[in-house]
Amino acid sequence: MTWNDIAFSVPAPLSHVAVDGVRVHGKHGVFESEKAQGHDFLVDVDMRVDTRSAGRDDALERSVSYADAAAIVEEVVAGRSVDLIETLAERIAQCVLERHVLVREVSVNVHKPTAPIPQPFTDARVRLTRRAAPVRAFIALGSNLGDSEDFLAGALAALARIPETRLIAASRVFETDPVSDIDQDVYLNAAALLETSLSPWQLLDSLHEIENAARRTRTLRWGPRTLDLDLISWGQLTCDDERLTLPHPRAHERAFVLAPMLDINPEWSFPDGRQASDLVKVAPDRAGLRPGPRVAGFASEARPRKGVR
């Protein structure tokens, strides 16, 4: 088998999490009487989310709340007066996408059933759909068993083939001493920056498929491995459940993770504001970090101070 033979699972279709007919009184319209007296608006919000992992494990934190969507509708419609219901729909959609990064697409339907139209009518509405921008995700790569250079090169090529994902950059390869007391060879470590439309759990599944192609076994924690792919960050998302913790729970104290990430983006910071450039200086394993071999696909020299964001 070659790395190009990996048959990545087709991402499951996104599910719909929706709330319909949220009724909020708002003072919107082109006429002064509308701004003074207002109307009752009805709003439908349909959020498209990867709910497969949430549904399988009954994990609330892996999905989104329709109650939160209803609260956003109330906030926007009851807020500052505007002329157009198109503006209300845009604001609701943008708020949903900004506050709920797991929502990859949202449709908003704003109804104004009491619009000042002289002819008999049932409803006046505006419907729009907006997609979320792809998310930047950092992947840490490591290997110390078998032909590590080949495993890293193959894994990088496979990362570029993940569906709905684009490889943005790869760090230099570093040689690092093991951080555990287990007798094993030195590691080769690197990092890759991806841009993806997959959910973090879909992306994690793809990383496991690449590890499986490298015949990765998990019989000994922190033991030698042909290939280790860790999802370090997915945008600014923070989560902590039995399957995935973001950012990675030990990334902040591992120079073999921080240094390659900084090689791609010297300005990178954790969602809580901690700068990776400060953390790497005090990482317990920093003395065991040194330049590694040149490996196909990975950077051959450090990038300028202005990093990839």
Which residues are the active-site residues? 112
Q: What is the DSSP string of 102-145?
A: T--EEEEEEE-TT---SS--S--EEEEEEEPPPEEEEEEEEE-S
8 Å CB contact between 297 and 190: no
What whole-number distance in Å separates Cα of residue 49 and Cα of residue 253?
Answer: 32
Contacts of residue 119, defined as CB under 8 A and 6 or more positions apart, other chains included, come to none
- Give me the DSSP letters along 258-293: HHHHHHH-TT-B-TTS-BHHHHHHH-TTGGGEEE--
Q: What are phi and psi of 180, to 5 degrees?
A: -100, 170
Burial of 141 (0-12, 13-18, 19+ CB in 10 A): buried
